[in-house]
Amino acid sequence: MTTELTGRTAIITGASRGIGLAIGQRLAQAGANVVLTSRDQQSADAAAAQIDGDALGVAAHVAEDDAAQRCVDLTLERFGSIDILVNNAGTNPAFGPLIDQDHGRFAKIFDVNLWGPLLWTSCAVKSWMGEHGGAVVNTASIGGMSSAPLMGMYNATKAALIHLTKQLVLELSPGVRVNAICPGVVRTKLAEVLWQEHEQALSTTMPLGRIGEPVDVADAVAFLVSDAASWITGQTLVVDGGQILGDATGFRAGHGG
Ligand SMILES: NC(=O)c1ccc[n+]([C@@H]2O[C@H](COP(=O)([O-])OP(=O)(O)OC[C@H]3O[C@@H](n4cnc5c(N)ncnc54)[C@H](OP(=O)(O)O)[C@@H]3O)[C@@H](O)[C@H]2O)c1
């Protein structure tokens, strides 16, 4: 089976930079037409201009019903299908201990990180994939599978997204495959607080010796949405250089490394 995507169309939410933009570039490289969203039309256009292939930038707040449906409609008008949806937009306005959170931050983070993926999946399925089939990938996080200081609220959204991924598999079967990816720390704006001040120290602890680059995640997504993954659904693919296994330093020392 091939990882070729020629003739297919993909919507990637939150694709103005970081992991989403890399996914857009990677899927276009595989031959897909790509639709990239941002809250801002100029940023969406700028992202589309960086794609080597057929690309459209669309302004859409990921948690707004009208914006999601408009983007789906524009995609069908321009390209005639929606074969792939990557629910990638994410945010973290709730960095800190859980008991210091408030309802405003709770509502915003769950709106973007959880309602967004459900809303866009629903629009794509009702407008196209329900009849024609398709592949959905949700960008979760290794935080959704573990605990980390100050990340409790964000991680709760990603844990819920992993659950939602599995529920959708059953509800949308057999035509639509739904999988999740769980990146570790990747070099993007969103995660700056996790790596910028201490990249070297963090990299040393990582089993594969470095933090992630957006393209590491994009390559995994390109596989999951392709025919090479045509019998894979409901899975949570960890793309983290081994980070979730813990600090490798002491283990290496045991081997004189
Ligand atoms: N970087 C990491 O270490 C890491 C690890 C695990 C998981 N993730 C997940 O990976 C995904 C991508 O994050 P990233 O690290 O690439 O972050 P990023 O570089 O900050 O990019 C975030 C993207 O999401 C968009 N976005 C944010 N809020 C939005 C909203 N309300 N509506 C529409 N778009 C919105 C931003 O677009 P505009 O600002 O242009 O609107 C931007 O394109 C997120 O789901 C994040 O949780 C990241």
Q: What is the pLDDT of residues 209-230, one digit of tens each?
A: 999 999 999 999 999 999 999 9
Query: Phi and psi dihedrals of 17, rounded to 5?
Result: -165, -175
In terms of Cβ atoms closer than 10 Å to its own Cβ (0-12, 13-18, 19+), residue 254 is exposed
Token pair in block for residue 14: 């939150």
CA of 60 to the centre of ligand 1 (A): 13
CA distance 90 to 108: 10
* Upstream peptide bond of 174 is cis (omega within 30 degrees of 0): yes
> Is the predicted pLDDT of residue 257 greater than 70, yes or no?
no
Pairing of strands 236-239, 134-139: unpaired
pTM given for the model: 0.98
Q: What integer pLDDT is reported at residue 253 of this predicted model? A: 74
Q: Please give the number of the atom of ligand 1 that sits closest to the Cα of 111.
A: 31
Residue 167's contacts (CB-CB under 8 Å, 6 or more residues apart) are none
Q: What integer pLDDT is reported at residue 254 of this predicted model? A: 64
Q: What integer pLDDT is reported at residue 2 of this predicted model? A: 86
Whether the Cβ atoms of residue 44 and residue 117 lie closer than 8 Å to each other: no
Q: Which amino acid is at 232?
A: I
CA of 16 to the centre of ligand 1 (A): 9
Confirm whether 154 is a catalytic residue.
yes
CA of 92 to the centre of ligand 1 (A): 9
How high does pLDDT run on average in the chain? 97
Q: Is 114 touching ligand 1 by the criterion CB < 6 Å?
A: no
> Is the predicted pLDDT of residue 201 greater than 80, yes or no?
yes
> Is the predicted pLDDT of residue 136 greater than 60, yes or no?
yes
Whether the Cβ atoms of residue 86 and residue 137 lie closer than 8 Å to each other: yes
Query: How does pLDDT run across 1-38, given as a tens digit for each residue?
Result: 788 999 999 999 999 999 999 999 999 999 999 999 99
Q: Is 24 touching ligand 1 by the criterion CB < 6 Å?
A: no
CA of 190 to the centre of ligand 1 (A): 6
Question: Is the domain covering 9-238 a CATH 3.40.50.720 domain?
Answer: yes
Q: Which of 105, 188, 194 to mutate to test the pocket of ligand 1 (most atoms within 8 A of CB)?
A: 188
Pairing of strands 9-12, 134-139: unpaired
Query: What's the order of all strands across the beta sheet hosting 134-139?
Result: 55-59, 33-38, 9-12, 84-87, 134-139, 176-183, 236-239
Whether the Cβ atoms of residue 48 and residue 57 lie closer than 8 Å to each other: yes
Q: Is 40 touching ligand 1 by the criterion CB < 6 Å?
A: yes
Taking CA atoms, 232 is separated from 19, 28, 31, 176, 178, in Å, by 22, 22, 21, 11, 8
Helix (H, G, I), strand (E, B) or coil at 189: coil
Query: How does pLDDT run across 37-88, given as a tens digit for each residue?
Result: 999 999 999 999 999 999 999 999 999 999 999 999 999 999 999 999 999 9
CA distance 133 to 153: 33
Query: How does pLDDT run across 151-162, given as a tens digit for each residue?
Result: 999 999 999 999
CA distance 110 to 104: 10
CA distance 239 to 111: 24
CA distance 32 to 24: 9
Q: How many CB atoms lie within 10 A of CB 220?
A: 21
Token pair in block for residue 164: 């939602």
Query: How does pLDDT run across 36-51, given as a tens digit for each residue?
Result: 999 999 999 999 999 9
In terms of Cβ atoms closer than 10 Å to its own Cβ (0-12, 13-18, 19+), residue 250 is exposed
Instruction: Determine which one of 154, 225, 238, 239 is catalytic.
Output: 154
With cut-offs at 50, 70 and 90, classify the pLDDT of residue 255: low
CA distance 189 to 196: 9
Mean pLDDT computed over 112-138: 98
Residue boundaries of the structural domains of the chain: 9-238
Q: How many percent of the chain have pLDDT more than 90?
A: 96
